[in-house]
Structure 1
Amino acid sequence: MSRTSQEQQGFIHSRFHGFAVLFRLADIAIVQVSMQVALWFSGKDLGSNEMLVAILATLGFMFFAESMALYRSWRSTRLAELLLTNWLSWVLASMFLLICAYFMPNKVVIDRQTMLIWGVLGIVMFGLFRLVCRHLIFSLRRRGFNTQTAAILGITESGMALARNLEENPQLGIRLIGFFDDRAPERIEMEEDHGPALLGCVDQAIKLARSNAVDILYIAMPMRAEERITEILMLCADSTAAVHIIPDFFVYNLLHARWHEVGDIQSLSVYDSPLDGLASWVKRVEDIVLSCVILALVSIPMLLISMVIKLTSAGPVLFKQHRYGLDGRKIMVWKFRTMSTMENGGKVVQVTKNDPRVTWFGGFLRRTSLDELPQFFNVLQGQMSVVGPRPHAVAHNEQYRSLISGYMLRHHMKPGITGWAQINGWRGETDTLEKMEKRLEFDLAYIRNWSVWFDIKIVFKTVFQGFTGSNAY
Structure 2
Amino acid sequence: MDAAGVGGPVLAVFTGGHQPHPLLAALTATAVWLGVRACHRRYARHELGESRAVPPVLRDWLTLLGLLAVARTVLGESSAPALTLLALAPAPLLTALCRKATHRHLTALRREAQAVHRVLVIGEPSAADDVVEHLAARTDHAYVVIGVIPMGPGQLTAGVPALARLGSQPPAVPDEDWVPVLAAAEQLGAELVLVAPGPRLSGERLRRLSWALHDAGLPLAVSPGLTDVALRRIQTATVAGLSLLHVAPPTRRGPHAFGKSALDRAAAALGLLLLAPVYAVVALAIRLDSPGPVLHRQTRIGLNGAPFTMWKFRSMVVDAERRRAELAGANEVDGPLFKMRRDPRVTRTGRWLRRSSLDELPQLVNVLRGEMSLVGPRPPLPDEVARYDSVEARRLRVKPGLTGLWQVSGRSDLSWDESVALDLRYADNWSLGGDFDVLARTFRAVVDGRGAY
- Secondary structure of the corresponding residue to residue 35 of structure 1: helix
Return the TM-score normalized by structure 1. Answer: 0.58
Q: Aligned equivalents of 1:121 and 1:296: distance in 2?
A: 28
Sort the Cα spacing of 1:188 and 1:382 in 2 relative to 1 into closer, same or farther, 3 A: same
Sort the Cα spacing of 1:452 and 1:161 in 2 relative to 1 into closer, same or farther, 3 A: farther
Task: In structure 2, give the amino acid aligned to 1:179.
Answer: V
Residue 78 of structure 1: CA displacement?
3.0
Contact in 1 for aligned 2:148/2:163 (Cα 8 Å): yes
Residue 127 of structure 1: CA displacement?
5.0
Residue 407 of structure 1: CA displacement?
0.8
Task: In structure 1, give the amino acid aligned to 2:279.
Answer: P
In the comparison of the two structures, how many residue pairs are matched?
394
Q: Aligned equivalents of 1:375 and 1:407: distance in 2?
A: 23
Match of 2:65 among 77, 94, 98: 94
**1:124-165 deviations in Å (ceiling 9; x for gaps):** 2675489679979x98xx999x98664210243223226647
Task: In structure 2, give the amino acid aligned to 1:301.
Answer: Y
Match of 1:386 among 364, 374, 384: 374
Match of 2:420 among 427, 440, 445: 440
Sort the Cα spacing of 1:40 and 1:208 in 2 relative to 1 into closer, same or farther, 3 A: farther
Q: Does 1:40 align with 2:23?
A: no
Structure 2: state its 5+ residue gaps.
168-174, 315-319, 326-345
Task: In structure 2, give the amino acid aligned to 1:440.
Answer: V
Match of 2:395 among 410, 415, 435: 410
Q: Does 1:152 align with 2:121?
A: yes
Match of 2:50 among 75, 78, 89: 78
Task: In structure 2, give the amino acid aligned to 1:89.
Answer: D
Sort the Cα spacing of 1:126 and 1:62 in 2 relative to 1 into closer, same or farther, 3 A: farther
- Secondary structure of the corresponding residue to residue 386 of structure 2: helix
Q: Does 1:161 align with 2:133?
A: yes
Match of 2:209 among 222, 226, 236: 236
Task: In structure 2, give the amino acid aligned to 1:189.
Answer: L
1:399 corresponds to which residue? 386
Match of 1:116 among 86, 111, 116: 86
1:181 corresponds to which residue? 150
Q: Aligned equivalents of 2:420 and 2:37: distance in 1?
A: 38
- Secondary structure of the corresponding residue to residue 79 of structure 1: coil
Q: Aligned equivalents of 1:382 and 1:61: distance in 2?
A: 42
Contact in 1 for aligned 2:404/2:438 (Cα 8 Å): no
Residue 117 of structure 1: CA displacement?
3.2
Residue 46 of structure 1: CA displacement?
1.0
Q: Aligned equivalents of 1:78 and 1:284: distance in 2?
A: 31
Q: Aligned equivalents of 1:293 and 1:183: distance in 2?
A: 60
1:219 corresponds to which residue? 195
Contact in 2 for aligned 1:86/1:126 (Cα 8 Å): yes
Q: Aligned equivalents of 1:132 and 1:426: distance in 2?
A: 28
Structure 1: state its 5+ residue gaps.
1-25, 339-349, 356-361, 428-433
Residue 391 of structure 1: CA displacement?
1.9
Return the TM-score normalized by structure 2. Answer: 0.60
Task: In structure 1, give the amino acid aligned to 2:94.
Answer: V
Task: In structure 1, give the amino acid aligned to 2:220.
Answer: V
- Secondary structure of the corresponding residue to residue 183 of structure 1: coil
Residue 286 of structure 1: CA displacement?
8.9
**1:159-193 deviations in Å (ceiling 9; x for gaps):** 32266479x68x94x67553222335xx423445x
Q: Aligned equivalents of 1:52 and 1:425: distance in 2?
A: 47
RMSD over aligned Cα, in angstroms?
A: 6.0
